Amino acid sequence: MEEVLQAVSQLQIIATMDASDSSYEPASHSDSDNEARANIEAKNEVGLQSARDVEDDSDKENGSDKENDGNARTHHLTKFHPFQQLPKELRLKIWGLHMENPRILELQSGIRSANSQVTTDQLSPRDWIRVAAPSCQPPAILHACAEARAEALRFYHLTNFEKQHDPKFEISIYYNPLVDIPYFGPESTVYTLQETVKKDIVMPRVAVDYSKGFRGISVMEALHGDQPGQQTGTKKIFFIVPSYLWFRGSDIDPSHTLYHTRSTGVTQKQRHTHSRIQNLMERIADGRGLRRFTFNNWTGENQPSVEFKGISPAPDTKMMYRNFMVPDEALFEKDDWFVLREVERKTGCMIQKELSDRDGYEDLWCDEDPHYELGFYGTPIATKNAIRLVEEIARKGEEEEKEREAQAEAQARECKDSWREYRHTPWAHKL
């Protein structure tokens, strides 16, 4: 505890020196610098003493006695009472760190209602574009205190992503283009993306779900621009690999987060789309641009990066979500999923096998046999070990299945050869 408080004290001094004098040199100090340092050290001492008092109170409440107990115990503070006594520069840095957490803002669009009173030539193919209700929540920092709100409003601005037949029904939300990620999910289409781009909203980072209404080439064309020199300001494009584990459609709120995934999709069509997007990524990286256009707006610093991600609820500290596709769930569902329960017991990682969007998942069975999705939640080490064990089980099961198929084919060939030999024997024709 003492070391942490001393480190905070040093950060306070450095932050204040940097803020007060950009040409600060440790070797020389003016009288004003020395006086400022003395004031800061006095404030730090007050903060240290207050923190010690909080720690002592916590020790007393928990009944711990370091002198009587041979093992020193660490207590994590849940409140920092002398926060207002910190230098303003340090407090602003803390607010700034809080605003570095990206929010996922989901956009939706809907078909024109049958009882709409306006004619078809007054409306686009999609009647409305709106921000999903959970994404309309203002950032929590705007309600923390006056200082936090003033600092946050330097970055968050009211922005209108919506399009209604009557503008008075459109709602603006607080949006920070430096970190927030507009998400065009399953309830939106390429039209939603195209109309949003027309609003000239700066979107350095965009997330797109390619499960239903999207295809990689259409997304790229919309963000590329149809005029030479047109720039949408997009620096990162996240293609969200379809998943049916952690949430239902339209249930995403700003606290959800992106995570790296090796999944390529649940159905064969989704996996094919994943492959096409990879080919587009190679064309962009090589500077060849998109086939449809005779010009290329994505050159040099204007070239965006493309990544595949998944979406999950925000994990607890030092925890993570991951998913993994298995081609055959029969390998794991025997004996009431005994294999997965054993993996959980050995690794300490929770494995999600029930589908959160069962209706959406069952719709996929109409066309083809989709891969089965397993979710993992735990510490990075536990999650890695659990996925490794599941991979080994799936690989062994696949090898055994191939071996059985090979044996069946060999037996079929043997039977066929035996039948041919039988037909060519002289006595076979007499039967």
Residue-by-residue DSSP string for 307-320? EEEEEEPPPPTT-E
* Other CB atoms within 10 Å distance of the CB of residue 405: 10
Paired tokens of 388 = 């490794």
The burial of 106, by beta-carbon neighbours within 10 Å (0-12 exposed, 13-18 middle, 19 or more buried), is given as buried
Helices 2-20 and 88-98: crossing angle, nearest 10°? 100
Whole-angstrom distance, CA of residue 412 vs CA of residue 12: 79
Paired tokens of 221 = 């064309």
Starting at the edge strand found earlier in the chain, the sheet holding 372-378 runs: 320-326, 372-378, 350-352
Q: Over the range 143-173, which residues count as b (16 or more CB within 10 Å of their CB) and which as e?
A: eeeeebeebbeebbeebebbbeeeeeeeeeb
Backbone angles phi and psi of 336, in degrees to 5: 55, 50
Regarding pTM above 0.75, the answer is no
Whole-angstrom distance, CA of residue 6 vs CA of residue 61: 25
Paired tokens of 132 = 């999903």
Strand segments (E) across 66-215: 104-111, 126-131, 157-159, 173-175, 181-184, 205-209
SS3 322: strand
Q: Checking phi first, is residue 348 left (phi over 0); if not, alpha (psi -120 to 50) or beta?
A: left
Q: Over the range 373-396, which residues count as b (16 or more CB within 10 Å of their CB) and which as e?
A: bbbbbbbeebbbbbbebbeebbee
- The predicted pLDDT at position 348 comes to 92
Helix or strand holding residue 224 (H, E)? helix 216-224
* Number of residues assigned to the chain: 431
Q: Let me know the angle formed at the C-alpha of 122 by 117 and 125, rounded to the nearest 5 degrees.
A: 95
Place of tokens 């209602």: 113
Strand partners, 378: 320
User: Given the DSSP bridges, would you call strands 236-240 and 350-352 parallel, antiparallel or unpaired?
Assistant: unpaired
The burial of 24, by beta-carbon neighbours within 10 Å (0-12 exposed, 13-18 middle, 19 or more buried), is given as middle
- The predicted pLDDT at position 425 comes to 65
Whole-angstrom distance, CA of residue 350 vs CA of residue 340: 9
Are 377 and 320 contacting, i.e. CB atoms less than 8 angstroms apart?
yes
Paired tokens of 313 = 């609820």
- The predicted pLDDT at position 204 comes to 93
Are 108 and 92 contacting, i.e. CB atoms less than 8 angstroms apart?
no
Amino acid at 103: R
**For every one of its 431 residues, what pLDDT tens digit does the chain have, with 9 covering 90 and above?**
444 344 444 444 434 444 444 333 333 444 544 554 555 455 445 444 544 554 454 445 444 444 444 444 455 666 777 888 889 899 899 999 989 889 999 998 876 544 444 444 444 445 788 898 888 989 999 998 999 999 999 999 999 999 887 788 889 999 999 999 999 988 888 888 888 888 888 899 999 988 665 666 678 888 887 777 776 688 999 998 887 777 665 678 777 889 888 887 777 777 888 888 888 888 888 888 788 788 888 888 888 888 999 888 888 888 888 888 877 767 777 766 788 889 999 999 999 876 544 455 455 444 455 667 888 999 999 999 999 998 888 888 878 878 888 888 888 888 877 777 766 666 555 55
- The predicted pLDDT at position 212 comes to 60
Paired tokens of 431 = 């039967």
Strand segments (E) across 346-401: 350-352, 372-378
Are 50 and 56 contacting, i.e. CB atoms less than 8 angstroms apart?
no
- The predicted pLDDT at position 18 comes to 41
Are 199 and 160 contacting, i.e. CB atoms less than 8 angstroms apart?
yes
* Other CB atoms within 10 Å distance of the CB of residue 205: 21
- The predicted pLDDT at position 4 comes to 39
User: Given the DSSP bridges, would you call strands 305-312 and 257-260 parallel, antiparallel or unpaired?
Assistant: antiparallel
- The predicted pLDDT at position 402 comes to 82
- The predicted pLDDT at position 43 comes to 47
